[in-house]
Structure 1
Amino acid sequence: MHLIPATLGLFTGLASAGLIVPSAVAPSSVRVLGVSLLGSGCPAGSADVQIDATKTLLEVTFSTYVVQTGPGTMAADWRKNCKLTINMAYDEGFQFATTGTDMIGFAQIPKGSKGLCTNTFDFTGVSGQSYYQVKLEGEMEGPFKLHSDVDSTSWSQCGGTTAIMNMNTQCNISPTKQQALIAVDRISGKVTVNVSVAWKKC
């Protein structure tokens, strides 16, 4: 794994656009200490994590996450994955959980072919996992924004001021002789996963 620093940023526009509902209570200080990457969809230095001013939205950006099928592609191109280990620090007396995700990117899926992206979240040292799934079915071409709500909730542990959240993301396209791709925004060259976060006092 390769450790890279994560820079904090303000994304109040995303919150006001209705992607999340801010928690009634949240720590006054939340920091992303670092992000480790492992997987075919995220070579070293190709992902970044930022947190918005409300402390209830994480934005994970991938710059080289490309899944494609068609002429000249191999089986390794049809599926990509990335495991991010996000080390977070916050005020004592809180715990948090993921409550939903929004995946934003570009997809070109021909008729008869299907794309699928899954995201799972868990905390190191805590049992339980949050699972999300989004489907892309042909025929479609253009930008997409897919929302998934939580089906099970896993909370970070109480009694500390740091937590390690593991995010596993995977995208694949059913093999086709036609050109198909997923997860690359033609405008920005990136795919973004917005993670809604809820806080509660211990």
Structure 2
Amino acid sequence: MKPVSLLSLIPLAAAAPSNGIKARGLTVPTGPVPENVRIVGVSLLGSGCPAGTADVQIDATKTLLEVTFSEYIIQTGPDTRASDWRKNCKLTLNMEFDEGFSFSTLATDMSGFAQIPEGSKGLCTNTFDFTGISGKTSYELELVGEIEGAFTLSADPDVVSWSPCGGTTAIMNMNTQCNISPTKDAALIAVDRISGAITVNVQLDWHKC
């Protein structure tokens, strides 16, 4: 796994522009992309994404996917339960695009709010795979205490899995999982106080089949 960089621990003062997704730490690929890309179906399952609390968008460049969670909260410490210490959300995205292309996830960043004392650590893992294709692409993001404030973490993978060639659709599965350890001390990973969400930005890389 390549190193993870902690890019920001200050409040997010500016929102992303309305004409596209601005992913901190991600560089938009410059290769050919399909003219038409759209998400035609989304299903959600997990403790971090109750019904109606997640949203998925793709930007105008067709290379940045933004997933937001409005009730994704991990807590440890007194009066918390095992169900509070770890959260996950599995998204199944049905993507439709022009014939002759395949895509992969090239990098990811994750933004939210954290209060983690010295001696505690948060760990978030974003894993991607494609239905019908073996292999997974994983990104690990660490929050090592002492931290208090808004954060953005960025990572890229060692292994990349591509969607199948020969069609105009692909089903991409994304599993986001976060936990904090040890569980005895009070700590928190939660939605950012300004945006009201934990956000995962996913950089898509396209190539011609």
Q: Give the structure-1-normalised TM-score.
A: 0.91
Aligned length in residues: 192
Structure 2 residue identity aligned to 1:38:
L
Q: How does 1:34-45 map to 2 (within 5 A)?
A: 34-45=41-52
Q: How does 1:116-131 map to 2 (within 5 A)?
A: 116-131=123-138
Q: How does 1:127-138 map to 2 (within 5 A)?
A: 127-138=134-145
Aligned pair 1:105/2:112, yes or no?
yes
Structure 2 residue matching 1:77: 3-state secondary structure: helix
CA contact (8 A) 2:102 2:163 kept: yes
Q: How does 1:158-197 map to 2 (within 5 A)?
A: 158-197=165-204
**Higher RCO, 1 vs 2 (CA within 8 Å, ≥6 residues apart):** 2
How large is the Cα RMSD of the aligned pairs?
Answer: 1.4
After the TM superposition, which parts of structure 1 deviate over 6 Å for at least 4 consecutive aligned residues?
A: none
| Residue of structure 2 aligned with 1:87, choices 86, 91, 94 | 94
Give 1:72 deviation, angstroms.
Answer: 1.6
Structure 2 residue identity aligned to 1:11:
G
Structure 2 residue identity aligned to 1:58:
L
Structure 1 residue identity aligned to 2:20:
F
| Residue of structure 2 aligned with 1:23, choices 7, 30, 37 | 30
Aligned pair 1:52/2:47, yes or no?
no
Structure 2 residue matching 1:117: 3-state secondary structure: strand
Long gaps (5+) in structure 2: 1-17
Q: Give the structure-2-normalised TM-score.
A: 0.88
Change (3 A) 1:34 1:91: same
Give 1:19 deviation, angstroms.
Answer: 2.1
Structure 2 residue matching 1:76: 3-state secondary structure: helix
**Taking every aligned residue pair, what percent have the same amino acid on both sides?**
71
Aligned pair 1:201/2:208, yes or no?
yes
Structure 2 residue matching 1:64: 3-state secondary structure: coil
